[in-house]
């Protein structure tokens, strides 16, 4: 735990960034929801998954994770666009299975 107190100005600035990233997170949620619906419609029609959408969704979900870590004070590095877009944590599975 940090032993010296934080300045109120720094707390206020972090709060403003947090509010900004909470708005960004809501937009990211919509993007993920649209990509999931698109993926399932595509899957129902073609009976195969759309790998570019799977890869895109994987990258967006990693970004959402980084945003959540920042706003919950578990990470100090500001997410994209203030830093580089995060790298994938895990690659998507090679195949999709329905069991």
What pLDDT does 60 receive? 94
Q: What is the pLDDT of residue 83?
A: 79
Distance CA 76, CA 14 (A): 10
Q: What is the pLDDT of residues 28-52, one digit of tens each?
A: 999 999 999 999 999 999 998 899 9
The residue with tokens 């990509």 is 35
Q: 62 and 89 in contact (C-beta within 8 Å)?
A: yes
Q: Tell me what pLDDT residue 99 has.
A: 77
Q: Backbone phi, then psi, for 72, in 5-degree steps?
A: -95, 10
Say how many C-beta atoms besides its own lie within 10 A of residue 5's C-beta. Answer: 7
| DSSP E strands, 11-91 | none
What kind and span of H or E run contains 67? helix 51-71
pLDDT, residue 86, reads: 84
């Amino acid at each position: 735990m940090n032993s010296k107190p934080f300045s109120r100005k720094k707390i206020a600035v972090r709060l403003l960034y947090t509010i900004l990233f909470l708005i960004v997170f809501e937009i990211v949620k919509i993007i993920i929801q649209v990509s999931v619906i698109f993926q399932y419609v595509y899957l129902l029609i073609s009976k195969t998954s759309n790998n570019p959408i799977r890869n895109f969704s994987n990258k967006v979900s990693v970004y959402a994770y980084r945003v959540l870590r920042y706003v919950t004070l578990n990470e100090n590095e500001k997410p994209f666009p203030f830093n580089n877009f995060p790298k994938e944590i895990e690659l998507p599975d090679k195949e999709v299975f329905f069991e």
